[in-house]
A and B are shown apart, each in its own frame.
Chain A
Amino acid sequence: MDLFLPESGLVIWMLIAFLIVFVILAKAGWPMIMGAVEKRNAHISDSLLAADEANKALAGIEQKRQETMAAAQAEQIRIMKESQDLKTQLIEEAKTQARKEAEKIVTDARLRMEKEQAEAMAQMKSEVVTLAVDIAEKLLQRELSDKQAQNDYIEQLLKNNPTQIQA
């Protein structure tokens, strides 16, 4: 039957038309569409990877931050403790120094007092001597004749306390 025989004219038209559309689409159609879609696919998967890495990096940074924070806190505590120690030490030192100073002052005062006392003693002694000489002079002037009696008296005076002499 005629229906089952290809028609040469139509075959030629079909060949021309199909080759036209095939060549045009193969040159300017499909490669562009496929290329763009593949490029976009690659871009999306790359971006996802990059985002993943960025997230990981962010997590690392967060951990680092926490570590730094912890370290800073520890440092703070340490510094505070140190300053506390320093404070007590300083106070201790100040106290010791103050005590030393006080002691020195007291010692100085005592030394000076002793020295003054000694000086006063010396002065007193010289005064006593003067007084004694005066007394002796007076005695001499009064009772030069009785020699024995005089010596006894002097000895008695010297044996007794000088304070008694003054009195």
Chain B
Amino acid sequence: MRNVLKHSVFFFFFALLALAPIQGMAQDSVQQPKKEKFDAKSFIFGHTGDSYCFHITEIKGEPVCVWLPVIVKCKDGGSWHCFSSKHVCELKEGETFNHKGANFYISPINADKYPGKLVEVKGDGSISRPFDISFTKNAFGIFLVVIFLLAFFLPAARKYKKDPMAQPTKYQGLVEWLTYTVLDGIIRPNIPEKKVKKFAPYLLTVFFFIFFANLFGLIPFFPFGANVTGNLSITVVLALLTYFFVNLFGNKHYWKDILWPDVPIFLKAFPLMPIIELISTITKPFALMVRLFANILAGHIVIMVLMALIFIIGGMYGAGMGGVMSVVSIFMTIFMTALELLVAYIQAYVFTILSSLFIGMAQHEPEHE
């Protein structure tokens, strides 16, 4: 049965390979009107970046979107504007949307100034960026993960609270297993046993937030697919929180090691070492921030490039070669998605293990003094 399935899948793709050139030739002979040139850059960054609307699909050339709210505060006037992104996303080139006396439009993704962002047009034609707290696609993605986490973990917690000694259900077993792989595999080895209860909630939340945000980013259809953890705004918050957890709860010994380390006096009197140590407290979370962001963004970009390759090849050598390329791309994308599943876990793991390592180091008590 399995073999038959495998063979039929292969047969399907080879049939596609065989058919594709014929179809391409047919299209070439018809001489269709030349479409606008495929812009790979805006395609890739349009999909991996943030957006004011959640684009689902297109039906007969009409985009099907979830219109998310735009919330902006103009720079000089100081007035708040809140409207549906439908008004600005559907604008044609050169048009602006007037809301309560202010004119807005979304700067094109390949523009020099504020690409892909909402800008305000002044009376004299100059553009400026308002203070923008729009509920964007990524904000939507964040809240999706948040709601999922609450919906996944809270019922189990309630069951445990109601009857802690009851035999756990399969669902509770899953929650327990997930929680304890993180707790015993990541947190306990790095944090002193007495402090585990204090820091475990943060580290568990961080792990599952990153892990599920990564996974949801890989699902390519609504309401998933927002590139949440591949966005610097998200990882900067996570890194800052880790920075606070390390430094706000750091003990005396930790601060002594930073401000007055055990080095020859001339290294710390002229405060070379303290400065280096203070910088190192910032570089650690900075590395966390960039690592997570870059890994996830890179994965998404690779997948998008593989998709874009179909259209690039198709544009260069005709639809026939595009068809051939699509088969290759699909295989490569399946491979990349599988790899990204691995990366989704690994990056959540790495972020959490390094966070707990840094927090644990700031909690470390010298064994003898």
Interface residues of A (CB under 8 A from B): 2-15, 17-18, 20-22, 24-26, 28-37, 39-40, 43
Contact of B142 among A2, A7, A13, A36 (CB under 8 A): A13
Smallest CB separation, B185 vs chain A (Å): 15
Q: Decide: A3 near B232, CB < 8 A? Known: A10-B50, A10-B139, A18-B146.
A: yes
For A5, give the chain B residue with the smallest CB separation: B232
Is there a chain A Cβ closer than 8 Å to B287's Cβ? no
Is there a chain A Cβ closer than 8 Å to B176's Cβ? yes
Can you offer 29 A-B residue contacts whose CB atoms are under 8 A? A2-B117, A4-B232, A6-B233, A7-B132, A7-B231, A8-B132, A8-B133, A8-B233, A9-B136, A10-B50, A11-B236, A12-B133, A13-B133, A13-B138, A13-B139, A14-B142, A17-B139, A18-B205, A22-B202, A25-B153, A25-B205, A29-B153, A30-B153, A31-B197, A32-B161, A33-B176, A34-B183, A35-B164, A36-B161
* B139: A residues at CB distance < 8 A: 9-10, 13-14, 17
* A7: B residues at CB distance < 8 A: 50, 132, 231-233
**Does A10 contact B143, Cβ atoms closer than 8 Å?**
no
CA distance A17 to B237 in the complex (A): 11
Smallest CB separation, A167 vs chain B (Å): 128
**Does B209 contact A21, Cβ atoms closer than 8 Å?**
yes
**Does A32 contact B146, Cβ atoms closer than 8 Å?**
no
* A34: B residues at CB distance < 8 A: 179, 183, 197, 200
CA distance A3 to B200 in the complex (A): 32
Contact with A along B144-157 (1 / 0, CB 8 A): 00100110011011
CA distance A6 to B138 in the complex (A): 12
Count residues of chain B with CB under 8 A from any CB of chain A.
51
Is there a chain A Cβ closer than 8 Å to B135's Cβ? yes
Contact of B209 among A2, A10, A18 (CB under 8 A): A18
For A2, give the chain B residue with the smallest CB separation: B115
**Does A13 contact B135, Cβ atoms closer than 8 Å?**
yes
* B132: A residues at CB distance < 8 A: 7-9
Interface residues of B (CB under 8 A from A): 45, 49-50, 71, 114-117, 131-136, 138-139, 142-143, 146, 149-150, 153-154, 156-158, 160-161, 164-165, 175-176, 179-180, 183, 197, 200-202, 204-205, 209, 231-234, 236-238, 241, 297
Smallest CB separation, A99 vs chain B (Å): 84
**Does B160 contact A36, Cβ atoms closer than 8 Å?**
yes
**Does A10 contact B201, Cβ atoms closer than 8 Å?**
no
For B297, give the chain A residue with the smallest CB separation: A3
**Does A30 contact B200, Cβ atoms closer than 8 Å?**
yes
* A22: B residues at CB distance < 8 A: 201-202, 205
Smallest CB separation, B277 vs chain A (Å): 26
Smallest CB separation, A151 vs chain B (Å): 141
**Does A18 contact B238, Cβ atoms closer than 8 Å?**
yes
CA distance A13 to B231 in the complex (A): 13
CA distance A30 to B207 in the complex (A): 13
CA distance A39 to B117 in the complex (A): 52
* B131: A residues at CB distance < 8 A: 8-9
* B154: A residues at CB distance < 8 A: 24-25, 28-29
Contact of A30 among B115, B142, B204, B238 (CB under 8 A): B204
CA distance A30 to B202 in the complex (A): 10
**Does A21 contact B157, Cβ atoms closer than 8 Å?**
no
Smallest CB separation, B237 vs chain A (Å): 4
Smallest CB separation, A94 vs chain B (Å): 76
CA distance A2 to B232 in the complex (A): 10
* B176: A residues at CB distance < 8 A: 33, 37
CA distance A34 to B156 in the complex (A): 11
Smallest CB separation, B233 vs chain A (Å): 4
**Does B150 contact A3, Cβ atoms closer than 8 Å?**
no
Contact of B160 among A2, A18, A35 (CB under 8 A): A35
